[in-house]
Structure 1
């Protein structure tokens, strides 16, 4: 090959090397990503409050909560001590909360959609 031919191939070879490097990084991140939630727990918000109103998880577990509002009013789910909060869910809406249970203890959760804790809309998350 001539020197001119090497110059013509220089940029495509550099681009190919960059693409292969990015693919290698992507594969590494794919396998090194944190473990997703092992199970999804559903919490239904009805006119009777949270069902269930007690949840148990293990310390270090990635918690995934599917929040479903079946009441006729908007509600949310807030765990203040863990800085976890869903958006305000209108009737028949749902949302998924995902977080890491890093500390043991009992953490109350509430609905405070009108700006203050709603009576009857409370529960406890227990991290063992």
Structure 2
């Protein structure tokens, strides 16, 4: 059974070295792009949310999983051609640099997608 972190800082405390640096880089880039986003733990992993979760991310044995939901993967299908993906997940290998600019673009896409969804709900 996997441990259940109570905060993003606790989750980060489980890692060191290059893995921790990558987590910190993802966190910093996301919060730079969407400063109003709140950090939460959801499904036992770090996530950022506004009115709903925008993206999740977590460390796996050989990669960092980045989970921008299905739309976040399908919208960037061409840009993600060099990465292992599935319906709502992207794998960033531990032995390669993080594509921080691409991560930023995906996060911004999800932010605008969630904003539009919230605005649509208000009209109903």
TM-score range, shorter chain: under 0.3
TM-score, normalization by structure 2: 0.26
Larger radius of gyration: 1
Structure richer in helix, relative to its length: 2
TM-score, normalization by structure 1: 0.25
Structure richer in strand, relative to its length: 1
